[in-house]
Amino acid sequence: MQEMESIVAKEKILGIWTEMPSNPLLSVPDLKRLAKCAHNNGTVLVVDDTVGSYNVNAMKHGCADLVVTSLSKMFSGTCNVMAGSVVLNPESPLAKELESLFDPDGDSFLVEADVDILLESSNNLAERLAKANATTVEIVRRLLNHPAVKEVYYPMLGDAKNRFDPFLNPLEEKDKPRYGPVLSILLHGGLDPAMAFYDALKSAKGASLGTNFTLSCPYPLLAHYDELDFAESCGVDRNLIRISIGQEDCEVIWADFKQALDIASALRTSETTASK
């Protein structure tokens, strides 16, 4: 962060892009500090809140100037349409300048059929999000207690929670979890147990997130296959698995995860025994 502040203070930087939370480590930036850094130097702060899945408002506290979101993810949930949105913070110090870049009468590059699908599939967004939030928190708690799991990445854990909570959208039932459907895990033992777990999963596998069905992927292999060493230098273990929790019953999801974790544990035990 100090390095970024130094660069922005010395050079003309048009924009700072960040995610809230990040993909795939679910870390949360110090948004207030980023905003101060950006706005003190006339720089635009752009926040991608897709993984936050409408639980957070990155424009709070005078932070994000622009918020970008993939509507293909939680907003739709059906995984059959591609779209995105940009929201301009009207209270941004750069609001007028940024507004001039938008052409409300221009082509949105979104055809009517896709709009119809988005409208239909997003009607129950609030209900889907509430269920995904609650289920994911319970799955995270169980993963944390499973001996095969080395690390769980989720914004309700550690320092991420302290940076995430101030930006939560208001909710009447304040005790309801609001940390999104996406988590990542790292298993003990490296590649072989990770492969065994992933292969044993009966739920869907793919690169999207926020879907109505549980979806997993070996994210580093998909996004950084040719630069795994670089990814690891940034803290992303090559054996990390990203999971997006769907609308299935929590016990159904956990039963699938548990049988896959047990297979991974058995493999690790057999490898340890064989090496003695």
pLDDT digits (tens, 9 = 90+) for 17-61: 999 999 999 999 999 999 999 999 999 999 999 999 899 999 999
Q: Are strands 149-153 and 182-187 parallel, antiparallel or unpaired?
A: antiparallel
Q: Are strands 66-70 and 84-88 parallel, antiparallel or unpaired?
A: antiparallel
CATH tag, 125-275: 3.90.1150.10
Is the pTM for the entire model greater than 0.85?
Answer: yes
**pLDDT value, residue 275:** 66
Mean pLDDT of all residues in 139-164: 97
Whether residue 165 is predicted with pLDDT greater than 90 in this model: the reply is yes
Burial class (CB in 10 A: 0-12, 13-18, 19+), 270: exposed
**pLDDT value, residue 269:** 78
Alpha-carbon distances, residue 165 vs 12, 45, 168 (angstroms): 32, 19, 5
226: three-class secondary structure by DSSP:
helix
CB 48 within 8 A of CB 17: yes
**pLDDT value, residue 276:** 60
CB 198 within 8 A of CB 258: no
pLDDT digits (tens, 9 = 90+) for 255-270: 999 999 999 999 987 7
**How far is it, in rounded angstroms, from Cα 75 to Cα 126?**
9
Stretch(es) of the chain classified as CATH 3.40.640.10 = 2-121
Whether residue 205 is predicted with pLDDT greater than 80 in this model: the reply is yes
Question: Of 3.40.50.620, 3.40.50.920, 3.10.450.50, 3.40.640.10, which CATH number belongs to 2-121?
Answer: 3.40.640.10
Which of 105, 70, 65, 101 is closest to 85 using CA atoms?
A: 70
Which of 57, 44, 52, 50 is closest to 92 using CA atoms?
A: 44
pLDDT tier at 110, thresholds 50, 70, 90: confident
**pLDDT value, residue 49:** 98
Stretch(es) of the chain classified as CATH 3.90.1150.10 = 125-275
CA dihedral 24, 25, 27, 29 (to 10 degrees): -60
